[in-house]
């Protein structure tokens, strides 16, 4: 017997035909796990179809699939997102055309579901127009996210981008200032200009914002702290920074 995997099983689909039908009917598949070494025309065509539809396909050992579901998965297990996936390439021009000053939250390496849900809730309250994160090796969108966001996940476009670095560059090239949160600076959020079109970049609590992302940033800022712990939960830190964005833009 296989031990059950700790992946959530809500919105789970499995088997060649159910997964194919989900893709063809336009459902947003957050992630598709495919058995390593799987052969056959049906398997090949389904993987090709998934990639063409922009689905993140990850090959895993058969044992992992059986830990998620003991049923006849035929080598394919997918997770259907409760929300549609947006593209920043479409969302950003729409904001500009409407005369809205873009406020974007970029999440670089966030993997904790509850933190993610809390950050969505805060972002929606603080006037963020879109949230962008990488499609690969990123936090799933599931019922825990819906709950911890208090439903805010349905009110703000979430953009999971396969070409994450290129999408960040697109935002920058569109005239949006990139401000990364990092301790690798002497500048605080209170000394940093957070007015105008802006994208705030937050990283994982452990690694922080990745170096390649920091290199693209127009400014790097930190939250000043005086306690002995000297670190904040990423969702709390996000709330503090977005509150300062709101203050600078609307309450000077």
For the stretch 10-30, pLDDT in tens is 588 999 999 999 999 988 998
pLDDT in tens, 116-142: 999 999 999 999 999 999 998 888 898
Locate CATH 3.30.1330.30 in the chain: 12-80
pLDDT category at 35 given cuts 50, 70, 90 is very high
How many residues would you count in the chain?
252
Encode pLDDT of 72-119 as tens digits.
Answer: 999 999 999 999 999 999 999 999 999 999 999 999 989 899 999 999
Which regions of the chain carry the CATH code 3.40.1280.10? 88-250
| Domain 88-250: top CATH class | alpha beta
pLDDT at 41 over 70: yes
Adjacency order of strands within the sheet including 130-134: 158-161, 130-134, 103-108, 198-203, 177-181, 219-221
Q: In this predicted structure, what is the pLDDT of residue 9?
A: 54
CB atoms within 10 A of CB 105: 26
**What does the buried/exposed string (b/e) look like for 137-168 if buried means 16 or more CB atoms within 10 Å of the residue's CB?**
ebbbbbebbbebbeebbeebbbbbbeebeebb
d(CA 33, CA 64): 9
pLDDT at 230: 67
CA 229 to chain centre: 28
**The domain defined by 12-80 carries CATH number 3.40.50.2000:** no
Q: What is the per-residue pLDDT across 194-247, written as a single tens digit (0 to 9) for each?
A: 999 999 999 988 889 999 999 999 999 999 988 777 678 999 999 999 999 999
**172 near 165, Cβ under 8 Å?**
no
Helix, strand, or coil (residue 121): helix
């Amino acid at each position: 017997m296989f031990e059950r995997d700790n992946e959530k099983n809500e919105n789970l689909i499995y088997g060649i035909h159910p997964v194919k039908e989900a893709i063809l009917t336009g459902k947003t598949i957050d992630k598709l796990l495919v058995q390593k070494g799987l052969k056959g025309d049906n398997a090949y065509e389904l993987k090709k179809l998934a990639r063409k539809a922009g689905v993140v396909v990850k090959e895993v050992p058969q044992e992992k699939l059986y830990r998620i579901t003991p049923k006849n998965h035929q080598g394919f297990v997918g997770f259907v997102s409760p929300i549609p996936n947006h593209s920043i390439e479409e969302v950003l021009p729409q904001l500009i055309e409407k005369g809205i000053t873009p406020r974007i939250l970029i999440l670089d390496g966030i993997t904790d579901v509850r933190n993610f849900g809390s950050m969505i809730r805060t972002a929606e309250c603080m006037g963020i127009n879109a949230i962008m994160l990488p499609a690969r090796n990123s936090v799933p969108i599931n019922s825990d996210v819906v709950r911890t966001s208090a439903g805010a996940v349905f009110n703000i476009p979430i953009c999971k981008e396969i070409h994450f670095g290129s999408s960040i560059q697109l935002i920058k090239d569109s005239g949006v200032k990139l401000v990364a949160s990092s301790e690798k600076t002497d500048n605080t959020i209170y000394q940093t200009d957070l007015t105008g079109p802006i994208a705030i970049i937050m990283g994982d609590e452990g690694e922080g914002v990745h170096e390649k992302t920091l290199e693209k940033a127009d400014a790097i800022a930190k939250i000043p702290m005086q306690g002995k712990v000297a670190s904040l939960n990423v969702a709390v830190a996000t709330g503090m920074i977005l509150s300062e964005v709101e203050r600078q833009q609307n309450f000077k």
